[in-house]
A and B are shown apart, each in its own frame.
Chain A
Amino acid sequence: MEKRVVFRSAWLPYALLAPQIAVTLVFFFWPAAQAGWYSFQLQDAFGLRTEFVGLSNFAALFRDANYLHSFKVTALFSALVAVSGIAIALLLAVMADRVVRGALAYKTLLIWPYAVAPAVAGVLWAFLFAPSVGIVTYALRQAGYDWNWVLRGEQAMLLVVIASAWKQVSYNFLFFLAGLQSIPRSLIEAAAIDGAGPARRFWTVVFPLLSPTTFFLLVVNVVYAFFDTFGVIDATTQGGPAGSTQILVYKVYYDGVKAADLGGSSAQSVVLMLIVIALTVVQFRFVERKVQY
């Protein structure tokens, strides 16, 4: 779609675009190009000399067992966050769509975690599950279950998944509720007249009509788990124990900032950029087709 009526000026449009383009060039394109450039370089231990090494940083990366492990951790983590966040949100949205009384109150009480910073969400849950003082830890001990995420990898993973999904449920909930409310009542009524009960109506009518929303949320949640959960990880497990919660973004940060491995970290950045590009393309191809069921 284009405007038929336009204004004419030789300089004004450029002046209006200038601030956005300037910020984009200085803080997006220039650093991204540098990440690409560094990824082909090897720096000596004192940061004095750099040497062009071609693709060897990438080759080293994919030979590195830690990096491949981090890929697996990221895949598991994002799958758990996306699936649990979506499933819980869908359940709550279906229930909220049913109730007449108190619908707004429920909505208000369910959406506020969206406003909590990932790092703060991490701290909140880390306190509940803290090995010595945590209240949930205490309850689990009483039930005969030994909980210590500082030492056990799978429990640390569970902790960061809970903290990340908890924050994301509110977001998914709002989109599912909007999706449910846009389903024509006549379809549900027709199914009811044909004798379909609530459960059958949900699986044969409602859920298929929600599939575009579900797919959209799947992509958004995976992107969230990949990038926005940095705060959750850094505020709780910091990738540990023994790398069992070290997602890719955390490794870029750790290798680049803490371990000062410029070439390796930049090569990881380039790999991550390719992943974001792939996810964005998936998302936009889906948006094009959104109208068809």
Chain B
Amino acid sequence: MVENRPWLTVLSHAVLLAGVALVAFPLYITFVASTLTHEEILQVPMPLMPGGHLWENYAQVLTAGSHAGAAAPVGRMMLNSLVMAVAIAVGKIAISVIASFAIVYFRFPLRNFFFWMIFVTLMLPVEVRIIPTFKVVADLGMLNSYVGLTLPLIASATATFLFRQFFLTIPEELAEAARIDGAGPLRFFRDVVLPLSKTSMAALFVIQFIYGWNQYLWPLLVTTQESMYTAVIGIKRMITGGDALTEWNLVMATAMLALLPPAAVVVLMQRWFVKGLVETEK
């Protein structure tokens, strides 16, 4: 602070509080709606204080889904989302860390070619190659399976980049010392590189977990059975069209369940999250 300007400090707090309120407003209304009955929501305006049907609504969606829309239990969907998010995060980190190790610590023919090949995938998001990717997965018989949900999303140019940048900062002396001591590349990887990469991995895990959990288009295409829906898809399937028909109390309970795990990850692992976010965009 360069100078003391009390009115400006007050203004800062006022703007920040307004920002926080604006950001939290939809979440609050969602929470309130998830504690009401369908009839209470239909009276306009709906109550702005939480009602008494919290357990009822959440138990209903977790075990049985909605009455009018999709009747698949959300508990199962959350399990699917969890499997998808963890598999994508772990898979991305695993294949990227070994690929970057090969690119940084070895000289071999076609090294740059492979590097560019991985780099170019940055330019091919799922959204632009929807139909052909779907066909490939269908031909491989991977529809409605965890493999089909996760494997196509596992390749990662950003993670490979991140690890490459990080490996380049590891002092040369460490590799020299390892070689003098007679350690082979795999030994060096396991005993030196992996322990040093822990923080980068944690940061990347947070980002990729959120990415995996929040996937929408891909599970929408690949899953046709209710038992394979993810939580985010489940919400969409509960909205039947028509304000009055949609059971908003159950939809909103599902929305709360779908957004709480990644939000908890962001808030509880804030340090890793910020690190991961800033580093993956370098």
Segment at the interface with B among A48-56, A60-68, A74-82, A95-103? A95-103
Within 8 Å of chain A (Cβ to Cβ): is B102?
Answer: yes
Within 8 Å of chain A (Cβ to Cβ): is B90?
Answer: no
Of A91, A113, A135, most B-chain CB atoms within 10 Å: A135
Within 8 Å of chain A (Cβ to Cβ): is B195?
Answer: no
Within 8 Å of chain A (Cβ to Cβ): is B111?
Answer: yes
Chain A residue at minimal CB-CB distance from B261: A115
Within 8 Å of chain A (Cβ to Cβ): is B5?
Answer: yes
- Verify A269–B123 contact, CB threshold 8 A: no
Of B130, B131, B217, B220, most A-chain CB atoms within 10 Å: B131
Given that A14-B108, A234-B236 are contacting pairs, would A133 and B46 also be in contact in the complex, using a CB cutoff of 8 Å?
A: yes
Beta-carbon contacts of A124-143 to B below 8 Å, as 1s and 0s?
11011011110100110000
Given that A111-B266, A120-B259 are contacting pairs, would A16 and B16 also be in contact in the complex, using a CB cutoff of 8 Å?
A: no
Beta-carbon contacts of B77-104 to A below 8 Å, as 1s and 0s?
0000000000000000011101101111
Given that A34-B132, A120-B232, A252-B130 are contacting pairs, would A20 and B125 also be in contact in the complex, using a CB cutoff of 8 Å?
A: no
- Verify A13–B106 contact, CB threshold 8 A: yes
Question: Contact check: which of A35, A96, A112 meets B132 at CB < 8 Å?
Answer: A35
Chain B residue at minimal CB-CB distance from A20: B99
Q: Which secondary structure dominates where chain A touches chain B? A: helix
Of A35, A123, A133, most B-chain CB atoms within 10 Å: A123
* B-side contacts of A252, CB under 8 Å: 127-128, 130
Within 8 Å of chain B (Cβ to Cβ): is A188?
Answer: yes
* A-side contacts of B5, CB under 8 Å: 198
Within 8 Å of chain B (Cβ to Cβ): is A171?
Answer: yes
The interface on chain A, measured as residues whose beta carbon lies within 8 A of the other chain's beta carbons, has a size of 99
Question: Contact check: which of B133, B179, B236 meets A5 at CB < 8 Å?
Answer: B179
- Verify B255–A124 contact, CB threshold 8 A: yes
Within 8 Å of chain A (Cβ to Cβ): is B64?
Answer: no
- Verify A23–B155 contact, CB threshold 8 A: yes
Number of CB contacts from chain A to chain B under 8 A = 299
Which A189-240 residues have a C-beta within 8 angstroms of B?
189, 192, 198, 216, 220, 227, 230-231, 234-235
Q: How far is the CB of B280 from chain A (nearest CB, A)?
A: 11
Chain B residue at minimal CB-CB distance from A12: B185
Within 8 Å of chain A (Cβ to Cβ): is B24?
Answer: yes
- Verify B23–A235 contact, CB threshold 8 A: no
Given that A110-B19, A231-B232, A234-B216 are contacting pairs, would A28 and B277 also be in contact in the complex, using a CB cutoff of 8 Å?
A: no
Within 8 Å of chain A (Cβ to Cβ): is B240?
Answer: no
- Verify A108–B236 contact, CB threshold 8 A: no
Beta-carbon contacts of B48-90 to A below 8 Å, as 1s and 0s?
1000000000000000000000000000000000000000000
- Verify B176–A9 contact, CB threshold 8 A: no
- Verify B44–A280 contact, CB threshold 8 A: no
* A-side contacts of B176, CB under 8 Å: 5
Give the distance in Å from the alpha carbon of A137 to the alpha carbon of B98 in the complex. Answer: 53
- Verify B248–A133 contact, CB threshold 8 A: yes
- Verify B23–A110 contact, CB threshold 8 A: yes
- Verify B217–A110 contact, CB threshold 8 A: no
Name B's A-contacting residues (CB within 8 A).
1-3, 5, 8-9, 11-13, 15-16, 19-20, 23-27, 29-30, 33, 41-42, 44-46, 48, 94-96, 98-99, 101-108, 111, 114, 117-118, 120-125, 127-133, 135-137, 151-152, 154-155, 160, 168, 172, 175-176, 179, 184-186, 188, 210, 213-217, 220-221, 232, 235-236, 239, 243-244, 248, 251-252, 255, 258-259, 262-263, 265-267, 270, 273-274, 277-278, 281-282
Sampled A-B contacts (18; CB under 8 Å):
A7-B106, A8-B106, A13-B106, A13-B108, A14-B108, A16-B98, A32-B129, A106-B20, A110-B23, A112-B267, A117-B214, A123-B251, A124-B27, A127-B29, A128-B25, A133-B41, A230-B217, A276-B123
